[in-house]
């Protein structure tokens, strides 16, 4: 049986950042990263919007606000150091009617509290900067950027292999976790069968499966990860340069992650999206793909019904955007007139791993669950890709 100092479940950006930081702090440590897929960043990390968030929306003092602010700078530094694709294009948040101006004011204030120095813009100033955008007012956040998080994940893993004693085992799915007096005993399944590994510390970065692994270890877990699909469309190539900045509508303050935005992507094209629709399975990327058992399991608990009741208005709106392409296009044309469903090309969807508590409340902040020899990243929703490096620092500080 092989022995390691650290075993990391998940080769998404959080697992990769932990491996990278550990290999820097303890170059002699034996690190194993494993993932059930055949390559890294197969799930959330490789299917997101690619935005390096500045931290506009987050509650001052929360993990999200702190890690996002630090992650913003660390991500740009990493991209520069390793010549990874990035662009600091800035983000424009726009109000499309007078009724959104008070929410815009509140967001502007939040942005100032988060030390971002936003710039207020009138309708005419927005038109001058972005001729395709129609708004009654807005503000500009210059720090926001874009990148390719899959490329970042690959780079972090390569660096961990070059500079540390890090191994990566793909197609290894963690099945059981036994905590021992001096570490953890892990059982995997893989194409050749099953094997066991002993690790002094286990770090669970399994995204949407994080809660399952917490329970498999026998720890108390008072939340469930629920799958929210984010559907995108790619705009026709004649819209590649439609805007210079990222364009976001004013969100509902209770659910700042909702609101279809217009995103310049690395690669030179533009996407619209994502929406957020509760879906039938943790990997149900295509509308009907989910095993019956998973669908039943998802809806067999009270939390999901409480959630649907609590957020019924938003749930119906998001579902409608999924069912009707022309409704989706209308959401974008509110601030970018002229866009219609005919301009939409298919684009891959992502599935957000969102923790929900027993009362059906969304858990907004990052969450960690610990035992003597294991640390589980219980909730790492957006902006966790931006925040991956400071989250890794936090994890390592908790381990020692
Ligand atoms: C639609 C969408 C848009 C987003 N946009 C942004 C954005 O613009 N900017 C931003 O900062 N954040 C964004 N996010 C959030 C961000 O992408 C995620 O928070 C981040 O990628 C989470 O990374 P992770 O490593 O925790 O999870 P993941 O990338 O999901 O990785 C988890 C890994 O664990 C593996 N795994 C799971 N279970 C097991 C097991 N039992 N055994 C072995 N391996 C296992 C999986 O195969 C997977 O590779 C977005 C997310 C989505 C879905």
CATH number of the structural domain spanning residue 370: 3.50.50.60
- How many domains does the structure of the chain reveal? 1
Given a cut of 70, is residue 290 above it in pLDDT?
no
Whether residue 346 is contained in a domain is answered as no
If one residue of 33, 48, 176, 318 were mutated to test the ligand 1 pocket, choosing by the most ligand atoms within 8 A of its CB, it would be: 48
Enumerate residues lining ligand 1, CB below 6 A: 9-15, 34-37, 42-45, 47-51, 53, 173-174, 205-207, 209, 230, 274, 350-352, 380-386
Whether residue 173 is contained in a domain is answered as yes
Q: What is the pTM of this model?
A: 0.96
Query: Binning pLDDT at 50, 70 and 90, where does residue 187 land?
Result: very high
What's the pLDDT tens digit per position in 69-113? Answer: 999 999 999 999 999 999 999 999 999 999 999 999 999 999 999
Q: Which pLDDT score, from 0 to 100, does residue 293 have?
A: 80
Average pLDDT, the chain: 95
Query: Binning pLDDT at 50, 70 and 90, where does residue 252 land?
Result: confident
Residue 182 belongs to domain spanning = 1-87+144-221+365-400
Contacts of 281-285 spanning 24+ positions with Cβ under 8 A = 281/227, 282/208, 282/209, 282/225, 282/227, 282/351, 282/353, 283/43, 283/208, 283/351, 284/227, 284/229, 284/351, 285/47, 285/229, 285/348, 285/349, 285/351
Whether residue 371 is contained in a domain is answered as yes
Whether residue 298 is contained in a domain is answered as no
Q: Which pLDDT score, from 0 to 100, does residue 297 have?
A: 85
If one residue of 7, 9, 10, 157 were mutated to test the ligand 1 pocket, choosing by the most ligand atoms within 8 A of its CB, it would be: 10
Residue 240 neighbours by CB distance under 10 Å:
14
Whether residue 106 is contained in a domain is answered as no
Given a cut of 70, is residue 208 above it in pLDDT?
yes
**How confident is the model over 18-29, as a mean pLDDT?**
95
Query: Binning pLDDT at 50, 70 and 90, where does residue 346 land?
Result: very high
Whether residue 287 is contained in a domain is answered as no
Give the percent of the chain with pLDDT over 70: 98
181 burial class (0-12, 13-18, 19+ CB within 10 angstroms)?
A: exposed
Whether residue 231 is contained in a domain is answered as no
Given a cut of 80, is residue 253 above it in pLDDT?
no
Whether residue 323 is contained in a domain is answered as no
**How confident is the model over 328-350, as a mean pLDDT?**
96
């Amino acid at each position: 049986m092989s022995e390691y100092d650290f075993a990391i479940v998940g080769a998404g950006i959080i697992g990769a950042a932990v491996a990278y930081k550990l290999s820097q702090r303890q170059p002699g440590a034996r690190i194993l990263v494993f993932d059930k897929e055949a390559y890294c960043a197969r799930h959330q990390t490789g299917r997101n919007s690619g935005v390096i968030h500045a931290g506009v929306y987050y509650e001052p003092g929360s993990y999200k606000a702190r890690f996002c602010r630090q992650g913003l700078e660390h991500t740009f530094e990493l991209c520069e150091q390793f010549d990874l694709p990035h662009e600091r294009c800035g983000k424009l948040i726009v109000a499309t009617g007078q009724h959104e101006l008070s929410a815009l004011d509140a967001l502007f204030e939040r942005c100032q509290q988060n030390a971002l120095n936003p710039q207020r813009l009138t309708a005419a100033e927005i038109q001058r900067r972005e001729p395709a955008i129609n708004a009654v007012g807005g503000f500009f956040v210059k720090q926001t950027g874009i990148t390719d998080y899959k490329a970042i994940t690959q780079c972090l893993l390569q660096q961990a292999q070059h500079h540390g004693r890090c191994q990566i085992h793909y197609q290894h799915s963690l099945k059981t976790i036994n905590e021992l007096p001096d570490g953890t005993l892990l059982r995997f399944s893989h194409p050749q069968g099953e094997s066991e590994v002993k690790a002094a510390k286990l770090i669970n970065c399994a995204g949407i499966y994080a809660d399952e692994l917490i329970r498999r270890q026998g720890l108390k877990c008072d939340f469930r990860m629920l799958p929210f699909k984010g559907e995108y469309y790619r705009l026709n190539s004649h819209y590649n340069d439609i805007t210079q900045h990222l364009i976001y509508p004013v969100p509902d303050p209770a659910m700042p992650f909702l609101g279809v935005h217009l995103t310049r992507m690395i690669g030179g094209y533009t996407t619209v999206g994502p929406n957020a629709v509760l879906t039938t399975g943790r990997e149900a990327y295509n509308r009907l793909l989910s095993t019956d058992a998973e669908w039943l399991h998802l809806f067999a608990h009270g939390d999901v019904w409480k959630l649907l009741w609590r957020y019924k208005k938003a749930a119906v709106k998001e579902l409608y955007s999924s069912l009707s392409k022309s409704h989706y296009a209308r959401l974008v044309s509110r601030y970018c007139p002229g866009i219609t469903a005919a301009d939409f090309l298919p684009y891959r969807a992502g599935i957000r791993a969102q923790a929900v508590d027993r009362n059906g409340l969304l858990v907004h902040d990052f969450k960690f669950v610990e035992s003597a020899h294991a640390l589980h990243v219980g909730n790492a929703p957006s902006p966790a890709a931006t925040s991956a490096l400071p989250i890794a620092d936090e994890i390592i500080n908790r381990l020692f």
